[in-house]
């Protein structure tokens, strides 16, 4: 069955520190999509990245990078030189076809970046 | 502007009083869904719709109804709300089911905070 685990409930870092948010998933399928979303204190949900299971290349976008490893079923998110504006709840999500078109989110990690 | 809208944004009601939360998207998206967000539980999918007149249950459908009579609208109906349905609700839409098998990136509405007394 689909499952997404974000074991880190809350992380606090000091500004300019690097921080990694963990995401571990379970799936029966060999083909699937993984996503990260950001929910800032204002409450909206903002799409960050989508990764296809066939593409294991790591991706970098400015201070953000994502490490996808099928061998460990992980899709971790690193913020380099964190800033106060990075403070938010971050969700990892999984989309697979298992007879249904469900879209499963993890429980989220709250990141607090302190000035 | 491409967007998903929800109304109302805030709602306080009493147990048993039927209510509807509307959701509309202007992106011609096929896939729409509803989620509830509760502390410590993340986002849980209530219902989803693949297209007009095609809906299916998510992980927490009890106590909710949906309909998809038009492509752009996907209302969430609580026939007899109870206090355990107090939550933050999000509607989302996705352009398509990628390659006919997966739900692609979803775009979310601003959320509806519901309190049932």
Contacts of A35 in chain B (CB under 8 A): 105-106
Contacts of A104 in chain B (CB under 8 A): 45, 59
3-class SS at A53?
coil
**Rg (chain A; Cα; Å):** 14
Mutation site for B-interface testing, chosen from A32, A45, A108 by largest number of B Cβ within 10 Å: A45
Contacts of B45 in chain A (CB under 8 A): 102-105
According to the 3-state scheme, what is the secondary structure of chain B? CCCEEEECCEEEECCCCCEEEEEEECCCCCEEEEEEEECCCEEEEEEEEEECCEEEECCCCCCCEECCCCCCECCEEECCCCHHHCEEEEEEEECCEECCCEECCCEECCCEEEEEC
Q: For residue A91, give the nearest of A39, A53, A52 by alpha carbon.
A: A39
Residues 52-91 of B with CB under 8 A from A: 56, 58-59, 88, 90
CA distance A100 to chain B (A): 8
What is residue B32's predicted lDDT score, i.e. its pLDDT? 95
Mutation site for A-interface testing, chosen from B43, B60, B91, B96 by largest number of A Cβ within 10 Å: B43
Query: Up-side HSE of residue B43: CA atoms within 13 Å toward CB?
Result: 31
Q: Residues near B54 by Cβ (< 8 Å), separated by ≥ 6?
A: B68
The torsion angle over the Cα atoms of residues A107, A110, B1 and B5, rounded to 10 degrees, is 50
d(CA B97, CA B50): 8
- What does the pLDDT profile of chain B (117 residues) look like in tens digits? 889 999 999 999 999 999 999 999 999 999 999 999 999 899 999 999 988 999 999 999 999 999 999 999 999 999 999 999 999 999 999 987 656 667 888 999 999 999 999
Work out the angle at residue A108's Cα, subtended by the Cα atoms of residues A107 and A114, and round it to the nearest 5 degrees.
Answer: 150
CB A92 within 8 A of CB A75: yes
What is residue B21's predicted lDDT score, i.e. its pLDDT? 98
Contacts of B98 in chain A (CB under 8 A): 33
Q: For residue A52, give the nearest of A26, A77, A32 by alpha carbon.
A: A32
What is residue B106's predicted lDDT score, i.e. its pLDDT? 92
Phi-psi region of A67 (alpha: psi -120 to 50; beta: other; left: phi over 0): beta
Among the ranges given (A51-55, A90-94, B17-21), the one the predictor scored with the smallest mean pLDDT: A51-55
Handedness of CA A21, B46, B24, B32 (dihedral sign): positive
Mutation site for B-interface testing, chosen from A101, A105, A108 by largest number of B Cβ within 10 Å: A101
Backbone angles phi, psi at B85, to 5 degrees: -100, 5
């Amino acid at each position: 069955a689909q499952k997404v685990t974000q074991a880190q409930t809350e992380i606090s870092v000091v500004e300019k520190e690097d921080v990694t948010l963990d995401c571990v998933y379970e799936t029966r399928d060999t083909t699937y999509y993984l996503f990260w979303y950001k929910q800032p204190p204002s409450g909206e949900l903002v799409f960050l990245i989508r990764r296809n299971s066939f593409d294991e290349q790591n991706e970098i976008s400015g201070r953000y990078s994502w490490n996808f490893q099928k061998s460990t079923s992980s899709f971790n998110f690193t913020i380099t030189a964190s800033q106060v504006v990075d403070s938010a709840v971050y969700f990892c999500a999984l989309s697979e076809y298992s007879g249904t078109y469900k879209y499963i989110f993890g429980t989220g990690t709250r990141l607090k970046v302190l000035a | 502007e491409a967007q998903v809208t929800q109304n109302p944004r805030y709602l306080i009601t009493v147990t048993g009083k039927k209510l509807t939360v509307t959701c509309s998207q202007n992106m011609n998206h096929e896939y729409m869904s509803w989620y509830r967000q509760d502390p410590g539980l993340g986002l849980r999918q209530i219902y989803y719709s693949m297209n007009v007149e095609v809906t299916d249950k998510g992980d927490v459908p009890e106590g909710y109804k949906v309909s998809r009579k038009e492509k752009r609208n996907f209302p969430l109906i609580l026939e007899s709300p109870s206090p355990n349905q107090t939550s933050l609700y999000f509607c989302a839409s996705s352009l398509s089911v990628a390659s006919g098998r997966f739900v692609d990136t979803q775009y979310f509405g601003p959320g509806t905070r519901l309190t049932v007394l």
